Chain A
Amino acid sequence: MTSPDAPTHLEAAGHPPHRLSADAAPAPATPGKVGMWLFLATEVMFFTGLIGSYIVCRAGSPPTSYSNLYAPATRLDRLKETRGVVLTDVGADATAAAGAIAAATGKPEAEVARILATVPHGVVNGLDEEGADGLVAALGQLGAKAEAIPLRMSSWPRPYDELMNPLSVDLTTINTFILICSSATMVLAVSAIQRGRKGLCSLYLLATLVLGSLFLGVQVYEYHELLEGRTYPAGISPTGHFTPDVSLFASCFFATTGFHGLHVAVGVVALAIVFLGSLLGRFSAQNFATIEYVGLYWHFVDVVWILLFTIIYLI
């Protein structure tokens, strides 16, 4: 068995230290590495099935499935001429604004309260043109800011449409880059241990662990906001909360990002184990296969997220 402190095989072969790079490193087909790549091949098929199912659900969704005024899957065939009012500011007297909405629509108190909770995206639906204009005028007299809008339909919630899509592209763009940075620190950790730099390797592994945990934390925060933290307008959810059962979009979103999040969580646990092993000096320039395997898995998780981010959040 080789000593952990022994020089790398490249140094032993006479390569000068400053020429050490991944270009020069041979890639032997060790059983562990073959097994890891076979596992990743099964993961490719798993996520292809998952993303494929998402595409099928989205492509097959009827063009009237989502609207800016009514809950997902509402039958809109007789509601096409209706108008709505978007309340962007309640004004000084919320009670009076609630009274005006109740008088205009006949909606129960709980539903009016939910509309007010979604301001600046409070949607009052079920009005005709005259009713919408009247409500806007009444709310204006009370100091509230409101606007009458027509019904818009869509087969799938579009990004940046805050009346139909609750997902935050801004937050997730930052989170995506966090995961990409963790992938970079991971490959730097592998590079460091290949060069025998154990301390540097531990540092990069710690950075990867922190960044991976941060990604997971942001995703948990996003889930919390969607599931119960915020109240959303009717076009997103009839209950006000974006739970998996409110629409096909919601269930697809939670299924795909949930499975990916599960993979990230497994990766974070694996990174923690490898980091502890690194602190205990179990890896060296000649014994770094475990770090490399965990790195391969981590990069794969990153690749999957790059695709999911584009397909679910941006398109």
Chain B
Amino acid sequence: MTDVDASPPIAPATPAEAAAAASVEAHAPYMKVLLGLFLLTVGEYFFARFLQDSPAPLMFGLVMMAAAKAGLVAWYFMHLKFERLWVFLVIGPAALMAVILTLMLFPDFVWQPDPLGEPVPAASNEPPRPGP
């Protein structure tokens, strides 16, 4: 029995093929991220349109989708995924202060004024008019 290789011969890639493959590979993650960003933008649009009468789910859903979009841009487009620790040490304190400031704003959400509960003043801008 002869030793015959049954597999088809495999020709090495030409430089043009290798360049094309490199181009496709380099673009692939970015185009996938762009597709994700497109889907999230469309999702935000319809989420905001159809849940406009439900403030809490609307706000939560939109903030989550916006955070996902911002995260995708920062992680892939700004190359945070590929950066070393020093970048996070530079940006970390600023991000921490941003979070602290945001947390410090919560009392403004809780302690809202209630002018409808105040006594009605004697004068107002424009009284209603009777019909014609």
Contacts and interface: CB of A to CB of B under 8 A. Distances in A.
Interface of A: 16-18, 20-23, 25, 27, 29, 34, 37-38, 40-42, 44-45, 48-49, 52, 55-56, 59-60, 62-64, 70, 74-75, 77-79, 81-83, 100, 103-106, 125-128, 130-135, 138, 155, 158-160, 169, 173, 176-177, 180-181, 183-184, 186-188, 191-192, 195, 197, 295-296, 299-300, 302-303, 306-307, 309-311, 314-315
Contacts of B84: 27, 29
B78 A128 contact: no
A283 B17 CA distance: 25
Nearest to B95: A44
Contacts of A158: 52
B77 A183 contact: yes
B66 A77 contact: no
A254 to B, nearest CB: 21
Given A23-B82, A103-B132, A188 B98 contact: no
Given A180-B69, A183-B77, 19 more contacts: A37-B90, A38-B90, A44-B98, A45-B94, A48-B97, A52-B101, A59-B108, A59-B109, A62-B115, A100-B132, A131-B132, A138-B132, A173-B45, A176-B41, A181-B34, A184-B34, A306-B70, A315-B62, A315-B63
B117 to A, nearest CB: 10
Given A21-B25, A299-B77, A134 B30 contact: no
A82 to B, nearest CB: 4
B90 A20 contact: no
A25 B83 CA distance: 9
B41 to A, nearest CB: 5
Given A74-B125, A299-B78, A314-B62, A55 B70 contact: no
Contact of A173 (B21, B30, B41, B95): B41
A300 B26 CA distance: 22
B73 A306 contact: yes
B129 A105 contact: yes
A188 B33 CA distance: 12
Given A44-B94, A44-B98, A64-B116, A18 B18 contact: yes
Given A45-B97, A63-B116, A128 B131 contact: yes
B3 to A, nearest CB: 31
B5 interface: no
Nearest to A197: B23
Given A127-B128, A300-B78, A42 B41 contact: no
Given A34-B86, A303-B70, A159 B48 contact: yes
Contacts of A126: 126-129
A52 B105 CA distance: 7
Contacts of B21: 18
